[in-house]
Amino acid sequence: MRKILLPIVLIALFSTNCSRFFHKGDVDLRFGIDNNACKKMQGKTLIYLIFVDTKTTKPWSNFDLKSAVDSVKKTSYWLQKQSGANNQDLKVQVDYFGSKSKTKTIARELPKASIYESLDGATVSAGINKLNKYADDVCKKVLTAAFPVESKNSKSSPRDKLISILREKYNVENVALMFMFNNYYKDDFSVTCNTLSKTESEYAMTSYKSPTLIAQQVMSLFGAAGMGEYYVKSKNKNAKFALEEFPNDVMVNLGRDLNELEIGEYSQYMIGWTDIVDKKYERFFYVSAEKE
């Protein structure tokens, strides 16, 4: 089972085509802070799940769905515990499409057989554009089924309209939108999209039920980042330094139990829990990116 969080920079950057993200050829990850649907990780926050059925993923049974929701709730409890330990005011609510109805899933085929294949195109931006359209298509189905009156005659994109409705309905400042795919016993990516964009709302596509993976994705939506492209380049110059400085930080420990982990100083800065960060950690702000 491949539990991979695709590097945030590849998911977020190229839908914006904005040169200000680059610093001497690298991408400045601070442009992912305080954006769009997930701003600072403070105040009332909703994690909203949409369970998607496709022909190439395992169908969502009631048991699978319940266990996935339980994993997300474990993540929400952990985030609130971390916020309390760091003198932050964070209240996280979890809900999902169909939680109060018989129909709890949305059927929609991915652009290709998997998230990974859907991203595999001529350019990174082309793959992201396909996923953005797919996310909008799924959100349109959710709006039609759950919010037909509220979404009528809306000029916003289905994704933005759904986020707006959810923000008002649940009275929250932040909405973490997550599309859940049942890829148990199957290899695929879990990705976060548009995290550096100032115009496209963020969302996650989640293939597995690991609370640690889900915590990483939720935090990524708020601007957190794997330090030194840790997930892709095991010999990256910053990877060893990240583990030395933050051995228990959730953003560099995908394979560990979430209850063993914490939100370190650098990650706290990225999600808005502090306005300052030690100068020696500024090296994590910049990651290389292959331009189109």
What's the pLDDT tens digit per position in 222-231?
999 877 554 4
Strand 286-288 to 43-53 pairing? unpaired
pLDDT of residue 262 exceeding 70, the answer is yes
Looking at every residue in the chain, the average pLDDT score rounds to 87
**Vertex 47: Cα angle to 86 and 135 (nearest 5):** 135
When computed from its CA atoms, the radius of gyration of the chain, rounded to whole angstroms, is 18
pLDDT of residue 241 exceeding 70, the answer is yes
Taking residue 58's Cβ as centre, other Cβ atoms within 10 Å add up to 14
What's the pLDDT tens digit per position in 7-17?
333 344 434 33
Taking residue 109's Cβ as centre, other Cβ atoms within 10 Å add up to 14
Residue 230: C-alpha distances to residues 73, 203, 227, 252, 285 (Å): 26, 21, 6, 7, 13
Q: What is the pLDDT of residue 17?
A: 39
Cα–Cα distance, 79 to 82 (Å, whole number):
5
Average pLDDT of span 163-173: 97
Are 226 and 5 in contact by the 8 Å Cβ rule? The answer is yes
At 125, list the tokens. Answer: 């931006």
pLDDT of residue 292 exceeding 80, the answer is no
Query: In this structure, which long-range contacts are made by residues 142-145, counting pairs with CB atoms below 8 Å and at least 24 apart in sequence?
Result: 142/50, 142/97, 142/106, 145/97, 145/98, 145/103, 145/106
Q: What is the pLDDT of residue 13?
A: 42
What's the pLDDT tens digit per position in 91-123?
999 999 999 999 999 999 999 999 989 987 657
Give the amino acid at 8.
I
21: pLDDT confidence band, cut at 50, 70 and 90?
very low
Average pLDDT of span 264-269: 97
Which of 59-68, 185-194, 247-256 has the highest average model confidence (pLDDT)?
A: 59-68
What's the pLDDT tens digit per position in 273-283?
999 999 999 98
Q: What is the pLDDT of residue 230?
A: 46
